[in-house]
Amino acid sequence: MRVLIKNLRGILFTCAAGLALAPSPAIAQESMTLTLPAAEQLALQRHPLLAQSAAQIEEARARARSTGQLPDPQARFGMQNVPVDSLALNRSEMSMVTFGVSQMFPPVGKRALQQQGAEQETAAAQTKDRDLRGRIRHEVHMAWLDFYYQERELAVVRTNYEIADQIVQAARAQYRVGLTQEADVLKAQLERDDLRDREEAIQSARSMAQSRLARLIGMPAATIAVPEELPAPPTVHTDEELMKTLPQHPQVATLDAQIRAAELDLAATRRDYYPEFGVEAMYGYRAARDMGGTKIPDMFSAGMVMSLPLWTAQRQDARAQERQARLLALRYQRDDLLLQLDQEARARYAEYTRTKSRLALVEHTLLPQAEQTVSALLAAYRTGKTDMASVLRARQVGLDYALRLWRLRVDAWIATAELNYLGTTITETSAHEH
């Protein structure tokens, strides 16, 4: 028995040790290389604002189904001509219990206008949702590209750290043979160590960009990685094509639907100058009997009621003025939005053109020349034909151009994304959703 207990204890100890050494789910998580299209798709699936937008669309649809319906009929119940001394229904031929129903009808055409206006509000909610999807895609582009740039900047700094280390080794070699001073060695070491500090600053910015992207796509930040290759940017509209598409932008289309809804609301309000009608029917039950004992016949009544909009200054006029002012405000808002989009599109296109021009200059001219200069000066320093200051200056220029190259590549992509968002149309967003 003791042997069995001892063996069980050994088995339990082994299992506990194995569980303790096994990696937890959090530790076992591996980073996933997330492409830009994949990040965009995850954001469109998980972003909470899209669920809110879907609920608002369903709210607008439900409102459209109920708007334009007739008001509920009214039922009536009462007693007429009942003697107050006995409250008996059979003492007088005029006493009766009444049951009735009535139905009101708005002015002709008002319900149809209200129905059409509600449908336009639904269309406005749908175009607003499409604009939201476009803005989310744009925000994902910005976050992903920011994270990507921090990764490339980190890689460039680490590569330059290797170059700086080569310069330090060259300075030490020259110092050992008496061809340079100790100050050159210290200066080279200081430049190399400064890259470490710069790397830590980039790491901090990288973590912030990674967290921003993780928030948009609903994933743990530690599990996100980006590929080394920057995807090819999409085709950009020309400036003339971009200006033509601005009136079809989802933001403008949303205001167009709201303006149409406001026009229909104003037309429906003007119908209030006409009277509304109602019909009613009533059945009267009489319990009294005549002198011969025969029950007196029941009675039936029917009629029509009509409103009299006589004093319109404080009611109909005020409501019509309110709707008219709202309609004008929406039209002015649309005009202002088109001006803003036009101004932003022109500015972004000019920025895009400048960025592409600077990118070509840095990529094909300045950076290759800077890299050749560093190599040449380092070789000259090893033979004692130049000083350490010249080598370090060239190394710093090469680092700046390498970082500028990636900055311009990412900026060109960002400018492309911004131009594509400005050039988004209702048709494009609808096709993208499917």
CB 90 within 8 A of CB 140: no
> Residue 137 and residue 36: Cα distance in Å, rounded?
10
Q: Which two tokens stand for residue 371?
A: 């890299």
Q: Is residue 299 part of a domain?
A: no
Specify the pLDDT at position 25. Answer: 39
Q: Is residue 251 part of a domain?
A: yes
Q: Is residue 100 part of a domain?
A: no
Q: Is residue 85 part of a domain?
A: no
**Residue 294 DSSP one-character state:** P
Specify the pLDDT at position 89. Answer: 82
Summarize pLDDT for 122-147 with one digit per residue, the tens. Answer: 999 999 999 999 999 999 999 999 99
Write the burial class of residue 6 (CB in 10 Å: 0-12 exposed, 13-18 middle, 19+ buried): exposed
Q: Which two tokens stand for residue 18?
A: 């194995």
Among 122, 116, 129, CA closest to 263: 116
Q: Within the chain, how many helices (H) and strands (E) appear?
A: 12, 6
CA angle at residue 373 from 202 to 399, to 5 degrees?
5
CA angle at residue 34 from 29 to 38, to 5 degrees?
125
Residue 127 amino acid letter: T
Domain containing 255 equals 31-70+106-274+309-433
CATH of the domain at 52: 1.20.1600.10
At residue 177 the predicted structure's pLDDT band, cuts being 50, 70 and 90, is: confident
**Comparison of pLDDT for 429 and 381, the residue scoring more:** 381
Q: Is residue 120 part of a domain?
A: yes
At residue 181 the predicted structure's pLDDT band, cuts being 50, 70 and 90, is: confident
Summarize pLDDT for 281-340 with one digit per residue, the tens. Answer: 999 998 888 877 888 899 999 999 999 888 888 888 999 999 999 999 999 999 999 999
Residue 109 amino acid letter: G
Q: Is residue 50 part of a domain?
A: yes
Q: Is residue 1 part of a domain?
A: no
CA distances from 20 to 16, 25, 197 (A): 6, 13, 37
Specify the pLDDT at position 366. Answer: 92
For the chain, percent of residues with pLDDT exceeding 70 = 90
At residue 11 the predicted structure's pLDDT band, cuts being 50, 70 and 90, is: very low
pLDDT at 179 over 70: no
> Residue 34 and residue 225: Cα distance in Å, rounded?
6
pTM over the 0.85 mark: no
Specify the pLDDT at position 12. Answer: 32
Summarize pLDDT for 34-64 with one digit per residue, the tens. Answer: 899 999 999 999 898 999 999 999 999 999 9
DSSP line for 236-284: PPPHHHHHHHGGGSHHHHHHHHHHHHHHHHHHHHHGGGSPPEEEEEEEE
Q: Which residues share a beta bridge with 279?
A: 103, 304
Q: Is residue 25 part of a domain?
A: no
Collapsing DSSP states into helix, strand and coil, what is residue 387?
coil
Strands 299-306 and 277-285: antiparallel
Among 99, 18, 47, CA closest to 280: 99
Could you write out the three-class secondary structure of 393-431?
HHHHHHHHHHHHHHHHHHHHHHHHHHHHHHCCCHHHHHH
Beta strands in 12-94, from DSSP E residues, in sequence order: 32-33, 74-80
Residue 295 amino acid letter: K
> Residue 170 and residue 346: Cα distance in Å, rounded?
51
Number of compact structural domains in the chain: 1
CB 173 within 8 A of CB 381: no
CB 150 within 8 A of CB 206: yes
